[in-house]
Structure 1
Amino acid sequence: MTGHRSWRPTRRRLTGALAAALAPVAACSVALGALTTWVSTGNAGSPPRVVVTDGRLWASLGDTPETSAYFRITNLGGADDRLLKVTSGAVTGTPALYGHRMLTDNTATDQEIDSIIAPAGRTVDMSPGTYTVILPADRDLRPGDLVPFTLHFEYEGPVQVQALVQPAGTAPS
């Protein structure tokens, strides 16, 4: 075994090995710190938690065959949810979801949509300029009446809320 040297650690070899090991350790530490922050703020794996408030239903106006209902949808959870439909045993016909869309600078349209996104940690304020629930007009409803609605979400499931009947065109109270 002549001419074969045994391996010996030198300062240069140790420094190189330490530098090679520190890069992945530092990357893992940064990732672990970010993950710990995300978990400690309550966002890790938290499902949608939807709260519906400020329901209002516009009273019928003249011979108009339809009217509108609006709600404030707040998702307190860490994941998005979707409003799929709105129902009410107190009104005739089937309520439908509509979205407002600008076509040009001074023209817009409302069109039926399949769902409304309820983003995690955010609030959706339904209004004539955003989203609307369109339903057949009920001539018997008067301002001050309360009408029960159920909003059906993809993950949260059904959420029940009362809508206050208001004169058509009034802002949320």
Structure 2
Amino acid sequence: MTDSPSHETSTGWHITRERLRDGFYAGLIPWTACVVALAGLTQWVGAGQAGRPPALEVTDPHVFLPYSDNTETAAFFTVTNAGGADDELVSVTSPVISKAMLSRHRSNGGGADFMGMADSATVPAGAALTMSPYDLDVMVTLKEETRWSEGDAIPFVLHFRHSDSVKAVATVVRPGS
């Protein structure tokens, strides 16, 4: 006949003061880490730094009056980003032109400049992208038989990588005015 197991030889689990203390401390560390992380994220969100998307506005739209019978000219915009993330201008379109391309003017270091196409232009968070004849502009080719006059209003749509497109109406101006 077998003896009934004694308390000292028992393999069953018993709650003891030491086990409760060890379990409490083992759970306290991840709980504290979660509370600290949640407090940090709450501060970050409260400060307005969490996930503010780009907020784009187009100002000062103008396009140069083409010379003589020339069908190519340049358009310029200032794109302000009041948001918390960068965006990229990827293209510009208009129903009254046949082609528009981003172009960037660069110096070769030897006193001469050259122009090259740009795939996109960054609009930094909290800053502005200002186009000029000396840096970035939009090369525009007019549709055939189209003539512009000073003061004409030309509709454009600026397309961005992450944000919705923005419409702008550019005024035709004489270069240098």
**Which interval holds the TM-score relative to the shorter structure?**
0.7 to 0.9
Alignment TM-score, normalising by the size of structure 1: 0.73
Given residue 49 of structure 1, which amino acid in structure 2 is its aligned partner? A
Matches of 1:63 and 1:103 in 2, distance apart?
30
Runs of 5+ in structure 1 lacking a partner? Answer: 1-24
Give the CA deviation at 1:38: 4.6
Asked whether the 8 Å contact 1:61–1:168 carries over to 2, the reply is no
SS in 1 for 2:165: strand
Runs of 5+ in structure 2 lacking a partner? Answer: 1-32
Given residue 96 of structure 1, which amino acid in structure 2 is its aligned partner? M
Matches of 2:107 and 2:44 in 1, distance apart?
37
Aligned residues: 142
For 1:6-155, list aligned pairs within 5 A: 32=40, 38-91=44-97, 93-104=98-109, 106-137=111-142, 140-155=147-162
Report % sequence identity.
Answer: 37
Larger radius of gyration: 2
Matches of 1:115 and 1:152 in 2, distance apart?
10
Alignment TM-score, normalising by the size of structure 2: 0.71
* Range with greater deviation from structure 2 (55-64 or 155-164): 55-64
Asked whether the 8 Å contact 1:46–1:79 carries over to 2, the reply is yes
* Range with greater deviation from structure 2 (154-163 or 63-72): 63-72
Matches of 2:150 and 2:161 in 1, distance apart?
32
Matches of 1:151 and 1:58 in 2, distance apart?
17
Give the CA RMSD over aligned residues.
Answer: 2.3
Matches of 1:84 and 1:143 in 2, distance apart?
28
